[in-house]
Structure 1
Amino acid sequence: MARYGQYCPITRSLELLGDRWTLLIVRDLLVGAERFNELARGLPRLSRGLLSKRLDHLVRAGLVEHHDGRYRVTQAGEELRPLVFGLAEWGARWAFGEPRPDELDATVLMWWIRGGIDAKAFGEPRRVVLQFRFVEGRRRLYWLVVTPTDVSLCFTDPGFDVDVTVDVGLDVLYQVWVGRIGYGEAVRDRLLVVTGERSLVRALPRALQFSPVAPYVRRAAAVD
């Protein structure tokens, strides 16, 4: 932990939260990740060893609790929510733009989308299989198998009939997910092509709950 040698609540806060990756771990805990592997999958460039070190630091600092294999924020950690999403609001207004190539990771995006699926939007309880086909990249095919109680991300054909197929560029889907491009706008402009069972195609934008930062990105765009 870096020490700044200044008696100030800002420096004390930075001593707890200023290390690389720490606030992103807090971000993921605040939006629902609980298990070590969930955090690791959402932050693939963070080594598992450093993730473990950062989590231990947050537990010792009283920001996170660890019981029965689950990590959860404490009251102190929960009170970081306005700070974390305040950064989202500021960043959407002043530090955001088109995605850079090094920011595009299809597996990370699909993992985020998996965590934001509302199965109830598809109607009566059933299994719904979504296939995503990216127009570029090393891995171009992903499947989401949606049931009333679980959403599975598959990297190989799960063996079920596909109900909805999404054809899209990775950069476009990222921007739709974070709210920089509207879903309807992307469909209208043929940047996002959705085919399959008609009722499920109509339900897809309701099932995709989008990124927790999407409201801030949309609001920043409206201000501009």
Structure 2
Amino acid sequence: MKGYGSFCPVAKAAEILTERWTPLVLRELLLGSRHFNQLRRGIPQMSPTLLSKRLQTLEEAGLISRQSGDNGHWEYHPTRAAREAGPIIDAMGYWGHRWAHSQLTPNELHAGRLMWNMRRSFYLKHIPCDFVLYIEIADTRQKRWWFVVKKEEADLCWNDPGFEVDISLYASLLTLVQIFMGDQPLLLARELGKIEIDGPNHLVKSMPAWFPRSKYSHEAPEGRRSALAS
């Protein structure tokens, strides 16, 4: 990596933390991704070769520890140095959502990345019961997704898991991203006809409490929320 040629701590930190893709790799690691394929799902635009290179760089910089897993595959664990960088990554997310908020162009929308982020963003303490959530996105190559949601965790299934579906949701990818990012309240999107939800009344009514949203969603500018809702 190229350095700034300075002893300044800000410069030294930037040499490690601001290299292209590195903040996103750290975000995935700090959110619990431990395997190469998990990291790839969180950053699908990043090539496997470049991901391997960034992991090696982070290991050399002392931010990750590579360990052999039970199945013989490598696991990547954030070190204390990486964990202490967590507030920096979060601050970038909050700042970006408030001041560099995207207009959501088509090349920024990716169904797989959205589903992977939704998987770890359920508000599990608010779910009324265990259930299976089916999501169908009309305007993507892979249209169908299943979440098996329990009090302990939410599991994302890329293929039909064979369980009875309790609640179904139909929407465009853009609408789902807007809901996840906090730009469009879920039930308002339903009232406007942008999303269709089928399921028991008690589950549908409880959705605003548990439906996945970005941890940065409350930083969405009020003016932008109002414009999207109109």
Specify the TM-score bucket, using the shorter chain as the normaliser.
0.7 to 0.9
**1:87 lines up with 2:92 in the alignment:** yes
CA contact (8 A) 1:89 1:220 kept: no
Q: Deviations for 1:37-75, whole angstroms, at most 9, x for unmatched residues?
A: 211111111122221221121122122223344333222
Higher mean C-alpha deviation, range 95-104 or range 110-119? 110-119
Q: CA RMSD in A?
A: 2.5
Look up the match of 1:183: 186
What fraction of aligned residue pairs are identical, expressed as a percent?
34
What stretches of structure 1 move > 4 A for 4+ residues in a row? 218-222
**TM-score, with structure 1 as normaliser:** 0.86
Look up the match of 2:18: 18
**1:216 lines up with 2:219 in the alignment:** yes
**TM-score, with structure 2 as normaliser:** 0.84
Look up the match of 2:72: none
Structure 1: runs of 5 or more not aligned = none
CA contact (8 A) 2:64 2:76 kept: yes
CA contact (8 A) 1:92 1:220 kept: no
1:168 is aligned, of 166, 171, 191, to 171
> How big is the shift at 1:214?
1.4
- Give, in whole Å, the separation in 2 of the partners of 1:133 and 1:147: 20
**1:51 lines up with 2:56 in the alignment:** no
Structure 2: runs of 5 or more not aligned = 70-74
> How big is the shift at 1:218?
5.6
Look up the match of 1:38: 38
**1:129 lines up with 2:132 in the alignment:** yes
- Give, in whole Å, the separation in 1 of the partners of 2:168 and 2:42: 24
Distance 1:32 1:214, change over 3 A: farther
Q: How many residues align?
A: 222
Look up the match of 2:122: 117
Distance 1:220 1:15, change over 3 A: farther
> How big is the shift at 1:138?
1.9
Higher mean C-alpha deviation, range 135-144 or range 99-108? 135-144
- Give, in whole Å, the separation in 1 of the partners of 2:211 and 2:185: 12
Describe the SS at the equivalent of 2:104. coil
CA contact (8 A) 2:119 2:212 kept: no
- Give, in whole Å, the separation in 1 of the partners of 2:103 and 2:201: 32
Distance 1:129 1:67, change over 3 A: same
Q: Deviations for 1:115-163, whole angstroms, at most 9, x for unmatched residues?
A: 2224453334x4x221111131222221112244443322333322211
- Give, in whole Å, the separation in 2 of the partners of 1:132 and 1:87: 30
